[in-house]
Amino acid sequence: MIIEKKDRILFVGDSITDSNRNYEAIPAGWSSWGDGYVNLINAYTTALLPREELMIVNRGISGDTILDLKKRWQVDVLDFKPDWLTIMIGVNDVWRHFDGTFAQTLLVSLERFESELQTLIERTLPYVKGIILLSPFMVEQNEKDPVREMLSGYQQVIQTLAETFGLPYGNVQEKIDDFLRHQSSYVLSSDRVHPSLAGHVLIAKTWLETTGILEGKDADNR
């Protein structure tokens, strides 16, 4: 397990991380975790690792792209001084290419995404014990689906950056794909992006395995 006693563990991302959290709650206070995978991770570590006294903090914001993360990075990440940072971002950067055209939304190219994420990693690494990268995902079995096909490029960027910087990488898409070999996508998501509680369990399990808290995978790069 790479997590140590009294570590401050911060999660940043979009609506999947946000998951209806209370923005007014104190960090790690009641209702601050939302109702998704961060809440599940907090429940697991609180109940089963009571001696570790881990502080789980959710700073996901619905709708965020990598550019939105960049704008709030100093306040929401660096000023908080976490021991470990988990980042899951990218699905909105892709999704806006398909649903944001009529609103003339600023679109994030693959190259811009890579550059911005690398900069945030480089900016943060000197101040934390480590950064955990989780892949964005789609609950879509067809790898030739246009959105899924574009997303695969962003997923590859994240995995490559994890390898480059020696960061733990959790492949959530792999967990989703394993599920879809047996059951319908509608069990995990009604819109292929926002997960059901079962979908959040898969994300939480990925994180717990990636950190070595759960057996199943070592806490190294993938």
Residues annotated as catalytic (active site), given as ranges: 15, 191, 194
> Which residues are CB-contacts of 187 (< 8 A; sequence separation ≥ 6)?
179, 196, 198
DSSP 81: -
CB atoms within 10 A of CB 159: 18
Which string of DSSP letters, residue by residue, matches 139-174? S-S-TTSHHHHHHHHHHHHHHHHHHHHT--EE-HHH
Chain position carrying tokens 């993360």 = 69
Q: Name 9's bridge partners.
A: 56, 84
CB atoms within 10 A of CB 115: 13
Q: Compute the residue count for the chain.
A: 222
Helix axes 172-180, 197-210, angle to 10 degrees: 130
Pairwise CA distance, residues 99 & 110, whole Å: 17
